[in-house]
Chains A and B, each alone.
Chain A
Amino acid sequence: MSSGLLIPPFMFFMLGGIIAGFLKGSLRNALLIAIPVLSLINLAMIPHGVYLEYEFLGHQLALFRVDKLSLVFGYAFHIVSIAVLVYGMHVKSNKEFIIGLIYAGGGLGAVFAYDLITLYVFWEIMTVASTFIIWRKDSMEAVGAGFRYFIFHLVGGLALLIGIILYITATGNVAFEHMGWTNLATGLIMIGFGVNAAWPFVHTWLVDSYPKASFLGTVMLSVFTTKTAIYTLARGFAGEETLIVIGAVMTAFPIFYAVLENDLRKVLSYSLINQLGFMVVGIGVGSQMAINAAVGQAFVHIMFKSLLFMGMGAVLHQTGKIKATELGGLYKYMPFTTVFTIVGSMTISAFPLFSAFVTKSMILSSVATEGFMVVWLVLLFASAGVLDHSGIKIPFFAFFGHDSGLKPKEAPLNMLIGMGFLAFLNIFLGIFPGYLFQILPYEVTYNAYTADHTIFQLQLLLFSILAFTLLLRSGLYPAEIRSINLDFDFFYRKGYKVFVWLVDNILIRFMDFGKALFFSYIPKTLKMLTRNPVGLLLLIVPDTRFKGLREKMAKSEDGYVDGLVEYWSIGLSAFVICFFLLFYLLFFLVNKLI
């Protein structure tokens, strides 16, 4: 099955990342561009199939599988890597690139993994690498958020691992194929994927950590972790109807937060969950059209979401500020960044002629075709919400709105090229969706550009803009306030105090009691009792008997135990334990031999 010269895509990224660590200046930059470009060419030449098989614990695994579903994500990861690496090229330090490339390699390894064990390994590589990306931002906030992020993903990864072990033990099947939620094992696997897909209540790691990474780190983070999760859900759990409900909740609840949030990268983080919700719904519907739609949405989402994070990253990079209350009026000084961000905003809002219009229409149509009316109405409501937070709020508060008095320079050329490249792709794929349709898993017969549909979408968007305009001019639109909004992470970021109180006051007291009982009261009592066994026995018989012995006892030194204490040292304890273990081992061996 495998050919002679076959290099899996993650090798380019991981090895390239390590080599890049030793280079400087333009040589390093040339390598940074060469990595994704060469890897993409390599990937395009590999025919569909399973490659690089190996054996592990008696299971036949394979490092690398190429098929249509994994290729969509593979292509997207490569294309966006080119843009991100160009965007960050002026950064002198190599560290972010080393970690970033290993992280991207982990993402590629995961989407091309053939079996569950290989998938799990790359999954955890991503967890570790992304945590270090968060920590690259040198602030206490980022350190704390990184730890919370790491714990969250460790727990999710553990659920995944237990699920995988149970699944393989029960079925004997290691290949990662469609499984569906059928039992505990697959349920745990789905939850493991769900943590990375930022399901409701386990979404807090995302909105907690992404806004705290560096301007470049956040762009990297926004691409791989969540989209790998979308890929795994699409492969393993397509048509799982629970996902429709989960996805619909994901589209709806973050938009309320996004309206109120002051930190613009946090607005985008909530928006990211909202977009993932659309994909999760599509996966839950599970028809060929819906899977196409969800996967296509993931593809274009990778382009426009990173474009938006790049736009806000550029603002942060140039001004050092990212809160809506501190920004405004930047269109005068950063015109290109403004235009590119607006392209990203129009794409995410699904304006006709922008790529997401096509894919989001497909998702809505596939939901409607199956007759899920309530879900469809929720998604439509969420579409108006997307327009608010990503379509209007991001560009309006950063680049227009009140004049903040900031006069930054335009972002460096390489950042503009990175953004411009993605902006171009968003429009190109919007006008020529055929190129996108070609790489989707199933054949596409869908046409988004019908007259009625285009008009419907424009109605929705234009009247939402009208609503914004009227609310803003009447003063009803909520003013940005320097504040934070409580989310579900409240329960562990404040809840830990309850935990600490419980430990301090109940657990520790209980432990203290146990310590006193086992190390003080019981030994003391035993010592007291064994100090003079004969005397003790004499206590329970009538005083009239053993008179001679009683007199003798009263005269002599009471205990022999005290004498022993002098010799009873740690060494003696260790010796006794060793002796016991040796005896145990001998016993075991003898048993075995007989």
Chain B
Amino acid sequence: MKDTEKKYIFDNPRNIKIILIILYVLCAVIFFADMFVHKHTYFFFEEKTGFYAVYGFISYVGLVLFAKYVIRPLIMRKENYYE
């Protein structure tokens, strides 16, 4: 089969590395970009540079780790639990 020999875009670790670098650069740029625009905010904390970035990051990490370490041990059961 030709398929098995064919190399796909993410089979090459270099491509993954490029994507990661793009992501890091974008994050850095967007973090500081809000210093240069006029903000129409509703709450005082929105004024802080990178509030959304920090809030998003913390939310995400908090969500995932809380789900993994607190909720999963409580609710996970075998697939045939109800059978």
Could you tell me which A residues sit within 8 Å of B by CB distance?
255-257, 259-260, 331-333, 365, 368-369, 371, 373, 376, 380-381, 383-385, 387-388, 400, 407, 450-453, 455-469, 471, 476-478, 481-487, 493-494
Contact = CB atoms under 8 A, between A and B. Distances in A.
Given A260-B76, A380-B59, A455-B37, 7 more contacts: A256-B66, A332-B6, A376-B43, A450-B40, A451-B37, A460-B56, A483-B77
A373 B44 CA distance: 11
B67 A459 contact: no
A478 B60 CA distance: 13
Contact of A478 (B33, B67, B81): B67
Contacts of A388: 60, 63-64
A389 to B, nearest CB: 10
> Which 6 residue pairs across A and B have the least CB separation, nearest first?
A368-B42, A467-B60, A460-B56, A459-B52, A459-B53, A478-B68
Contact of B55 (A256, A257, A380): A380
B46 to A, nearest CB: 8
B37 A384 contact: no
A452 B54 contact: no
A461 to B, nearest CB: 7
A407 B3 contact: yes
A471 B59 CA distance: 13
Interface string B54-79: 11110111011111100110111111
Nearest to B65: A476
7 contacts: A256-B67, A332-B3, A462-B26, A466-B23, A467-B57, A471-B64, A486-B81
Given A368-B42, A457-B52, A462-B53, A384 B59 contact: yes
Contacts of A371: 42
Contact of A456 (B8, B24, B34): B34
A212 to B, nearest CB: 12
B52 A460 contact: yes
A468 B77 contact: no
Contacts of B30: 455, 458-459, 462
Contacts, number: 154
Given A482-B79, A484-B77, A486-B77, A463 B63 contact: no
A140 to B, nearest CB: 9
Chain A binding surface SS class:
helix
Contacts of B75: 260, 485-487
Contacts of A376: 42-43
Contacts of A256: 63, 66-67, 71
Nearest to A485: B75
A385 B63 CA distance: 7
Contacts of B67: 256, 259-260, 478
B10 to A, nearest CB: 6
A260 B26 CA distance: 28
Contacts of B68: 259-260, 476-478
Interface string B19-35: 01001101100110110
Nearest to B39: A452
Contacts of A450: 40
Nearest to A389: B63
Contacts of B60: 384-385, 387-388, 463-464, 467-468, 471
B81 A460 contact: no
Contacts of B20: 469
A517 B40 CA distance: 79
Nearest to B52: A459
Contacts of A407: 3
A443 B55 CA distance: 32
Nearest to A451: B37
Interface string B38-52: 111111001000111
A475 to B, nearest CB: 11
A463 B23 CA distance: 9
A465 B23 CA distance: 8
Nearest to A335: B8
A464 B46 CA distance: 17
A452 B41 CA distance: 9
B71 to A, nearest CB: 5
A371 B43 CA distance: 8
B76 A481 contact: yes
B72 A478 contact: yes
A146 B37 CA distance: 53
B34 A459 contact: yes
A63 B52 CA distance: 48
